[in-house]
Amino acid sequence: MSRPRFLAPAALVLLLAGCSLTPPLELPAPPVAGDWPGGPAYQPVAAAVGEPHLAELDWRGFFRSPELQAVIGRALENNRDLRVAALRVEQARADYRVSRAERYPTLDAGGSFTRQRTGQDFTTSGRPEVSNDYRANLGTTAFELDFFGRVRSLNEQALEQYLATEEARRSAQIALIAEVAGAYLTLLADRELLVLTEATLEAHQESYGLTSTLFDQGLATSLDVAQARTAVETARANRALYSRRLAQARNALELLVGEPLPGDFGLEAPTVVTADFVAELSPGLPSDLLLRRPDLRQAEHSLRAANASIGAARAAFWPSITLTASGGLASGALSSLFQAGSGVWAFAPSIDLPIFDAGRREANLESSRVEREIALAQYEQAIQTAFREVADALAARGTLDEQIAAQASLVEATRTSYDLSVLRFAQGLDAYLATLDSQRELYAAQQALISLELERLSNLVTLYKALGGGVGEEGEAQKSFASLSAS
C-alpha cells in the first residue's frame, strides 16, 4: 500500500514538468490575393511558360555574366554589413545555448579552508582557541523545477529569436547580391552614357568647326555659330557629369564588395543595351513567397517568439520551486578530511508563492499579449509588402520591353532626322537651329534608351530579390539548429 502512495506524488511531478502555458499559435491566412494581378501592364501567364522557377536557380544561375558572378562572390566574402549579420547569428546562437542551459541543473565543485580564532569569552575552556575547517563539496544552487514551463517558454522564445536572426542574415545576403548587381549594372550604364556623351561632344565639335567655316564664307550667321558653341559646352558639361557619376558608381560598388576593384574592371564588359546579364524568371504563386522569402520567415519566427513570451508571463502567476543542495566532506584537519565520518550534506528547497505585486504580473502578461498582436500585424504587413514588391516588378517587366522597343525606334527616327538636318544645313537649305534640335533629340533619345535598358535589367534583379532569391541556402536556419541541438 505504501508504494502506490509514493508513486502518486512522483507522477504528479512528472505531469507538471511537462506542462506548458504557451497558447497555441495558428498563422493567419495570407492577407493577399491567391494570384498575381492581371491587366494590360502584366504579361499573360502563358508567356511565363518555359521560364525557370526561382527554386531551380541559385544566384550563379540567375546572373549569367562571369564578371558579375565574380564580383558578387567577392562581396559575399568581404562585405562588412553581411559579416555583422553573420556575427549576430552567432550571438543569437550563443544566447539560445545560454537559455537552453537554464533547463538543467548546474553542478559546481569547490574546496575551502578556514582558520578562525575564537576569543576566550566564547569558548567553553575560557581560553582563546584557534580552529581549522577543511571542506570539499559538490552541489547545485537555485535550480528551478520548471513545473509550469516558464523556463521552457523562455527557451522557446530564444530559439525563435535565433531562427529569426538566421533568416535576417539570409535576407541581408539576398539584398547584398541584388545591390551588387544593381551597382554593377549602374556602373556599366554610366560608362556607356559617358562614351555616348564623348561621341556627342565630338560630333558637336565637328559641327561647330563646320559652322565656323561656313560663317567665314558668309554662309552662316553668328547666331548659328553661337548655337553650335552652346551645344559643345553643353556636351562638355554632360561629360563632366557622367565622369563624376562613373567614379561614384565605382566607389559604391567597391564599398559593397569590400575591397578595391582592378583598374580595368568592367572595361571589357558588354553594354547594357546588348548584353544578356540575367535570366528570366517565373514568379510562381503568391503563396510561394512564404516558403522562399527569408524576411517573411523572420517575421514568422518573431511572431512565435512573442507567443512564447506569453507562456513565460502566464507561468509567473504560479508558484516556483527552486532547489539548492550540496554534499561533500568537512574536517578540522586536512589529514582526516577523507576519512570515514567526515561526510556532510545540505538540502534546501524553497518555494515562491505570488500573493500581491500591485498588478505587475498582470501588466507583464498584457504586455506580452500586445507584443504578440504587434508581431502578428507586422507578419501580415510583411506578406502584403512582399506581394506588392513582386506585383510592381511584374508590372514593370510586362511594360518595359514594349517601351524599350518604342524607344529604339525613336532613336532610329531621330538619327535619320539628324542626318537629314545636317545635310540640309550643309547645303544651305535650313538654319543651324534645325540641326541643333535634331542633335539634342538624338542625344536625349539615346540617353533614354540606355536608361530604359538599365531599368529593365535592374527590375529583373529586383524581381529576383522580391521573390526571395535563389536556392542554395534553403533551410539553412533549420540545418544550423540541427547542428546546435547535436552539439
Which CATH number belongs to the domain containing residue 450 in this structure?
Answer: 1.20.1600.10
Place of cell 558637336: 204
Alpha-carbon distance 178 to 171, whole Å? 11
Which of 329, 353, 377 is the last residue before a domain boundary? 353
User: CA 4 → CA 1, 9, 16, 266, distances in Å?
Assistant: 6, 9, 18, 82
Domain count across the chain? 2
State the pLDDT confidence band at 412, using cuts at 50, 70 and 90: very high
Is 330 strand, coil or helix? strand
Within a domain: 369: yes
Asked if residue 303 and residue 414 are part of one domain, the reply reads yes
State the pLDDT confidence band at 56, using cuts at 50, 70 and 90: low
Asked if residue 283 and residue 259 are part of one domain, the reply reads yes
State the burial class of residue 219 (Cβ atoms within 10 Å of its Cβ: 0-12, 13-18, 19+).
middle
Is the pLDDT at 485 greater than 50? The verdict is no
H-state helical runs in 102-149 = none
User: Average pLDDT, stretch 5-16?
Assistant: 45
Asked if residue 348 and residue 229 are part of one domain, the reply reads no
C-alpha closest to that of 382 among 288, 290, 456: 290
**Residue 443 CA to its chain's centroid (Å):** 40
Position with higher pLDDT, 427 vs 439: 439
Do 189 and 272 contact (CB within 8 A), yes or no? yes
User: Average pLDDT, stretch 70-90?
Assistant: 89
Within a domain: 7: no
Do 230 and 207 contact (CB within 8 A), yes or no? no
Asked if residue 236 and residue 153 are part of one domain, the reply reads yes
Assigned C-alpha cell, 302: 518573431
Asked if residue 329 and residue 420 are part of one domain, the reply reads no
C-alpha closest to that of 162 among 88, 235, 214, 107: 88
Count helices and strands (H / E) in the chain. Answer: 11, 5
Asked if residue 435 and residue 380 are part of one domain, the reply reads yes
Residue 52's pLDDT is what? 62
Residue 307's pLDDT is what? 93
Asked if residue 335 and residue 433 are part of one domain, the reply reads no
Do 354 and 319 contact (CB within 8 A), yes or no? yes
Within a domain: 447: yes
Asked if residue 438 and residue 376 are part of one domain, the reply reads yes
Assigned C-alpha cell, 279: 535570366
Within a domain: 11: no
Is the pLDDT at 7 greater than 90? The verdict is no
Alpha-carbon distance 62 to 471, whole Å? 11
Asked if residue 274 and residue 324 are part of one domain, the reply reads no
Asked if residue 77 and residue 222 are part of one domain, the reply reads yes
Which of 353, 378, 404 is the last residue before a domain boundary? 353
C-alpha closest to that of 212 among 194, 200, 224, 230: 224
Angle between helices 150-216 and 432-466 (to 10 degrees): 170
Is the pLDDT at 39 greater than 50? The verdict is yes
Within a domain: 153: yes
Is the pLDDT at 486 greater than 70? The verdict is no
Within a domain: 5: no
Is the pLDDT at 157 greater than 60? The verdict is yes
State the burial class of residue 330 (Cβ atoms within 10 Å of its Cβ: 0-12, 13-18, 19+).
middle
First-to-last C-alpha distance (Å) of the chain: 45
Residue 331's pLDDT is what? 78
Within a domain: 6: no
Which of 353, 371, 396 is the last residue before a domain boundary? 353
Do 452 and 231 contact (CB within 8 A), yes or no? no
Residues 6+ apart with CB under 8 A from 399: 41
Radius of gyration of the chain (CA): 37
Residue 423's pLDDT is what? 84
**Structural domain boundaries enclosing 128:** 106-145+320-353
Alpha-carbon distance 204 to 432, whole Å? 12
Asked if residue 367 and residue 345 are part of one domain, the reply reads no
Residue 456's pLDDT is what? 92
H-state helical runs in 258-359 = 289-292, 294-315
Q: Picking from 29-38, 238-247, 457-466, 473-482, which range would have the lowest pLDDT averaged per residue?
A: 473-482
**CATH code of residue 129:** 2.20.200.10
Asked if residue 246 and residue 378 are part of one domain, the reply reads yes
Within a domain: 9: no
Place of cell 546588348: 274
Assigned C-alpha cell, 294: 527569408
